[in-house]
Amino acid sequence: MITTDIIILAAGKGTRMQSALPKVLHQLAGQPMLSHVLTAADTVVGGQKIVITGHGSDKVEHAIKDTDSIIVQQQEQLGTAHAVQMAIPYLRSDARVLILYGDVPLISADTIHKMLAAVSDNNIGLLTINLDDPQGYGRVVRNPLGDIEAIIEQKDASPDQLDINEINTGVLALGASQLIEWLPQIDNNNAQGEYYLTDLIALARANGYKINSIQPTSASEVKGVNNRIQLSHTERALQLQLAEELMLSGTTLADPNRFDQRGKLSAGTDNFIDVNCLFEGEVILGSGVYIGPNCHITDSVIGDGVEIKSNTVIESSRVGDHSILGPFARIRPGTELGKNTKVGNYVETKKAIVGDGSKINHLSYIGDAELGDNVNIGAGTIICNYDGVNKHKTLIGDGAFVGSNSTLVAPVAIGQQGFVAAGSTLTQDVSASALAVSRTKQRNIEGWKRPAKKDD
């Protein structure tokens, strides 16, 4: 196994973000930008990650404390070469070194491995890209033979150099021994008064090294984020990438531009997802799933053939095969729906285990309850599971029927085939196959006159 050290620069303040949050902690697809870079770096087997922090270092260190990274603080931000200098004591002498950036979050694993493969005894790797508009980037200067000679920052470039459209991305790979030798030779004699890491290219050429140019698969891989507009563009680029991966795996999206994934989404085949759906955490979809517009699914497992109608929210729950949910259903954490269940419009469940074939069609709250198979819950049924201090459980047996507008005051149990008449308030258990009726006696007053409106 080749020894590899990966330095990730994450010290910048990000003034243009107009935020108290360090720039690298602003989120893409539900994760800090820095986390995306670390995830890509983790694809290098045995790679040692060294993260250089600076502004808001305490927040950055807290955010990545579980990532098995060496964290080094850069007290003064004096340029990229100075930031890399902070990592020198932690480099292994026989390592290949890859330099990445915490605010360039879409770098791919494929590009990382190509960069490392470009490093050899007399070669280093440089990630470049040709842009129609290279404004703001350092230009890659080549000699007449096409060899890379140097990188010139825009503020230091001549008019002819400004016409160059091949730009430096900042991503660099080279041997640790070369990096240790050349870094001290970099000065800050430039327009910014900073120590530029890009000066390594000229030093490499002066020492007889060839610079191998690697190009990324797409421009989005190397775009840095400096303000919230660029953050939004990067978010859309990432979401489109995730959408395309999902479609290639067998899911139809009504509009890939109106799809959001913030976490891990696994899916079978022949699924359909309508517009404006959001997936968070870890979500698993079976096959043949239909999801209507404006749905929000978090940390849940959805079985085969499930239909989720519009505006339905599902959190930390499991939905059995061929069930129908919504529209406007809210499935709260701890819900487990069996096969062929139905949870209709304006129904809310919480810690509810619902057996196969059971139906809660509309306008009900089912909390801290276990329902057997083929139970029918009428409209407006409420389970009163909370007494102001503790939560209590409700048990409903197979085949039971609860009429509309019923109130079940937990703890209470309804036996198999039990029947609760509509409008009842239940405070006692109902035995199997029994009918429970709990209503005040109806009284009709003949000849009653409606109140008349008084004149002002």
Quick one: residue 102, left, alpha or beta (phi over 0 = left, psi -120 to 50 = alpha)?
Answer: alpha
Q: Which residues contact 420 (CB under 8 A, 6 or more apart)?
A: 400, 401, 402, 403, 406, 408, 414, 426, 430, 435, 436
Q: Do domains 4-222 and 228-436 have the same CATH topology?
A: no
In this prediction, residue 192 carries a pLDDT of 83
- Please, which contacts does 87-90 make with residues 24 or more away whose CB atoms are closer than 8 Å? 87/5, 87/7, 87/50, 87/52, 88/179, 88/180, 88/183, 90/5, 90/48, 90/50
**Every domain of the chain and the residues it spans:** 4-222, 228-436
Domain at 228-436: CATH code? 2.160.10.10
- Active-site residues, by number, are 362
One digit per residue, the tens of pLDDT, for the chain of length 456 reads 789 999 999 998 889 999 999 999 999 999 999 999 999 999 999 999 999 999 899 999 999 998 999 999 998 889 999 999 999 999 999 999 999 999 999 999 999 999 999 999 899 999 999 999 998 889 999 999 999 998 998 988 999 999 999 999 999 999 999 999 999 999 998 878 889 898 999 999 999 999 999 999 999 999 999 999 999 999 999 999 999 999 999 999 999 999 999 999 999 999 999 999 999 999 999 999 999 999 999 999 999 999 999 999 999 999 999 999 999 999 999 999 999 999 999 999 999 999 999 999 999 999 999 999 999 999 999 999 999 999 999 999 999 999 999 999 999 999 999 999 999 999 999 999 999 999 888 899 999 888 888 876
In this prediction, residue 211 carries a pLDDT of 95
Cα–Cα distance list, 164 to 20, 151, 167, 207 (Å): 36, 11, 8, 25
Q: What is the CATH architecture of 4-222? A: Alpha-Beta Complex (3.90)
In this prediction, residue 190 carries a pLDDT of 82
pTM: 0.91
- Is there a contact between 447 and 431 (Cβ–Cβ < 8 Å)? no
In this prediction, residue 453 carries a pLDDT of 83
